[in-house]
Chains A and B, each alone.
Chain A
Amino acid sequence: MNFIDGIGMISPQQTLVPGRFPDDVVEYTADFLKCIEPVYKTYIDPIPLRRMSRLIRMGISSARICLADAGIAMPDAIITGTGLGSVEDTEKILSDISKEEKFLNPTPFIQSTYNTISSQIAIHLKCHNYNTTYVHRTFSFESGLIDGMLQLGEGSSTRVLVGGIDEMTLNHLNITRRIGLWKRQPVNNLQLLNSRTPGALAGEGAAFFLISADRSDHSYARLRDVSTLIDIRGSYRRDQAIRNFLLQNQLQPEDIDLLIVGISGDAVFDPVYHQFASDFFPNAPLAWYKHLCGEYHTSTGFALYTAAQILKSQECPEILLLNHKAPSRLKNILIYNQFRNINHSFLLVSFPD
């Protein structure tokens, strides 16, 4: 069995200070939700810190927070998922070479490679163990979790560090807005569902989890299963997939005490979630999270953080609930996220008994 034993979460919410989230929700009216960043010197030596771009800083800091939370110095594997890697560094090079192929600084190029976060964490910890990086849109973090659980299953590892990290920049927002990903106007994150317009509210975040093969007295939750499904041809394979997913985990729809979905305020794709909920879990309390962290490729990191907090505290904050149905029991939480109705993912977490 696999347990979440430590968490480090940098997000647009007060997730760095224990006890502040979700009582003290941060409200924004913005083009995108930006992370509340820590004082990096607390986590990273000043000499390497000075040339790190924001994504790398957030990644290393959240990994360190996670390891400290779990009380572990050296994980058996470091696995990172990132949909876009360091957008800031990539843009710097693109902007430079589009003017003139001269005087190019090596630092942004080095940091633009997607594996920089995983390998920088390894350098900081002097960790020679298994190290890899997944870069597949909304499967990035999920692929990392699947790999991490494989590692634990193989018996070669007992504690793996798995993270999901993405950043947003104004440039990238403007470019990807052209293909309909985002809302055209700034919106209030707590009024997101009132906008009823196409496009999501963009966001970002860095989440690391220490997944352990053994339960400890501070385990947050049991990570039971993670599954991804690609449905390129619109063949409704998702419906069969969720049935199989429940079956494999020996669960009935009624066993799901809380369904957390990736509703993002996007009038085009939010119906996918509502349909899913009513088709398979008509009686389950329904929660969402993207009004708090925004939409980004590794947003299920925030969802998993939220689910873990809920299971540990045995309380589901009102701010997350969508259908005003409070869960009567908190044992099994299913997270469902999708991107363009093509990339679907399921994460199942349970109370760590």
Chain B
Amino acid sequence: MPQRILVTGYGIISSIGNTVQECYQSMIAGVPGIGRICNIDTVLRDELIVGEVKRTLPELLDMAGIEPEEGYSRNTVLGIIASSEAFHHARLHENRQLRTGLISATTVGGMDRCELFYNDFLTNETRNAYIDSYDCADSTERIASRLNLTDFITTISTACSSAANAILLGARLIQSGKLDRVLAGGCESLTKFHLNGFNSLKILDQKPCRPFDKNRAGINLGEGSAYLVLESEESQKITGNKPICELKGWGNACEAFHQTASSPDGVGAYLAMKKALELSGLKAADIDYINAHGTGTDNNDISEGKAIETLFGNRIPMVSSTKQFTGHTTSAAGSIEAILSILCLEHQVIWPNLNFSEKIDELNFLPVTRLITGEPVCAVMSNSFGFGGNDTSLIFTKI
């Protein structure tokens, strides 16, 4: 019998709140965090809307209790804030004899400072403190250092499924017996670099994004960070933490189709969901809710929708995207949306798919368009798909 993986802590910061509680309040109230770009000096600020954490870097440093010191990127500080919330929630500072890992995910890394200081990097010595903080590992190592988590650390980058793969690896390391508990998730700050990059792909909507809508026109980018604490049952007996839910299944598959486009039939998405379902031991009919990747691009929503239809047949669970609230937080999306999905189990709610008006012709199902309460929610699936077809699906169940 494989180890059960229990979720015993979580932490989040995003455009809809700086803690799990704040995010939950925004979700219940139906208030999205999408708005004008405030923290980045870009020509795109008049064209695009984003899900930005409404604090400047000095404000975030202050919030995290970090002495003003050079070398911290926005990404790292977002990561520290969310990971600290999860760390304290599950009291990881206690029972240090338990082997505790940190698996973090990011793709932009310290790009927000790097793009600001790039000319200095090339020509003078004034910004040397930020040279090291450019790569993906920097945020992970600074989190590890602050929280003194050193039993196992690594960083994953699989584009928009990164944080889901961090959670997946955490579960596998616990099941193999290599670790007792894991802090897993991801962080991603908005940067001029990827705002322009996504803009060059012509997949950003200038209006609030409309996932699963016939007239959808692309993504609103977002930023944030979220981490889960995973524990084995043995570990949980020692820590005495109250389990929030169980991570019951996970699946990783690759589209192997195109570097940026999803296949029309969504084979990667289908395989990731199918693997997660098989591992969970659940039947398709047991899934009450799918928190879809649902980016709002023409391509993703058809591809993901087709994959859902293939796997679930004529019994399609309730489906919504929550990117209308948070924006697409790219490498952090996997853990941010995992927590939003877990909140559905905890509070017995299903999140509405905002901004919906008309069904996609090619699909046979409608997303959930209003907040659902009063229906039992026992198993939820959270999908995260990335460029290059790196698709990952997670299943959480009520204890």
Q: Do the two chains touch directly in the complex (Cβ atoms below 8 Å apart)?
A: yes
CA distance A230 to B100 in the complex (A): 13
Question: What 1/0 flags go to B126-145 for Cβ under 8 Å of A?
Answer: 00100110011100110011
- Establish whether residues A179 and B131, one from each chain, have CB atoms under 8 Å apart when the complex forms: yes
Say yes or no: is B312 at the interface (Cβ < 8 Å to chain A): no
Q: How large is the interface on B (under 10, 10 to 19, 20 to 34, 35 or more residues)?
A: 35 or more
List chain A residues, Cβ under 8 A from B118. 94-95, 98
Interface string of B166-199 (1 = CB under 8 A from A): 0001001101101000000000000011101111
B128 touches A136 (CB 8 A): no
B254 contacts partner chain A, Cβ-Cβ < 8 Å: yes
Whole-angstrom CA separation of A97 from B35 in the bound complex: 23
Decide: B150 and A116 in contact? CB cutoff 8 A: no
B residues within 8 A CB of A133?
156-158, 390
Interface residues on A, range: 35 or more
Please name the residue on chain A nearest to B259 by beta carbon.
Answer: A110
Q: Does B29 contact A (CB under 8 A)?
A: no
A197 → chain B, closest Cβ, in Å? 19
Within 8 A of B (CB), among A92-144: 93-95, 97-98, 101-102, 104-106, 109-116, 118-120, 122-123, 125-137, 139, 143
B112 to chain A, nearest CB (A): 12
Give chain A residues whose Cβ lies under 8 Å from the Cβ of B97: none
Note all chain A residues with C-beta closer than 8 A to B42: 101
Given the known inter-chain contacts A97-B115, A101-B192, please indicate yes or no for A115 contacting B390, CB distance below 8 A. Answer: yes
In the assembled complex, the Cα of A186 lies from the Cα of B121 at a distance in Å of 21
Q: A93-B193, A178-B128 are in contact. Are A101 and B135 (CB under 8 A)?
A: no
In Å, the complex CA distance between A306 and B137 comes to 27
Query: Is B389 an interface residue when CB atoms closer than 8 A count as contact?
Result: yes
List of A residues within 8 angstroms of B255 by Cβ: 122, 128
- Binary flags per residue of B196-210, CB closer than 8 Å to A gives 1, else 0: 111111000000000
Chain A residues with CB under 8 A of B43? 101-102
Contacts between the two chains (Cβ within 8 Å), count: 188
Q: Return B272 CB to nearest CB of chain A, in Å.
A: 10
Q: Which of A84, A130, A136, A231 has the most CB of B within 10 A?
A: A136
Do A143 and B154 touch across chains, with their CB atoms under 8 A apart? Answer: yes
**Of the residues A85, A95, A116, A125, contact of B256 by C-beta under 8 Å:** A125
- Enumerate chain B residues within 8 angstroms of A50, measured Cβ to Cβ: none
Instruction: From B107, B137, B158, B253, give the contact of A136 (CB < 8 A).
Output: B137
Of the candidates A106, A128, A171, the one having the most CB atoms from chain B within 10 angstroms of its own CB is: A128
Stretch at the interface among A146-154, A263-271, A308-316: A146-154
A49 at the interface (CB under 8 A from B): no
B388 near A237: Cβ-Cβ < 8 Å: no
- Which residues in B have their C-beta under 8 angstroms from that of A333? none
Q: Which A residues are CB-close (under 8 A) to B150?
A: 229-232, 237
Contacting residues of chain A (61-113) with chain B, CB-CB under 8 angstroms: 78, 83-85, 93-95, 97-98, 101-102, 104-106, 109-113
User: With A and B bound together, what is the CA distance between A129 and B275 in angstroms?
Assistant: 10
> Inside 8 A of A85's CB, which chain B residues have their CB?
157
What is the CA–CA distance of A134 and B104 in the complex, to the nearest angstrom?
10
Please determine whether B155 and A104 come into contact, CB atoms closer than 8 angstroms: no
Q: Which residues of A contact B (CB under 8 A)?
A: 78, 83-85, 93-95, 97-98, 101-102, 104-106, 109-116, 118-120, 122-123, 125-137, 139, 143, 146-147, 150, 153-154, 171, 174-176, 178-179, 228-233, 237, 342
7 pairs from A and B in contact (CB 8 Å cutoff): A85-B157, A102-B43, A118-B390, A128-B268, A131-B389, A135-B157, A232-B144
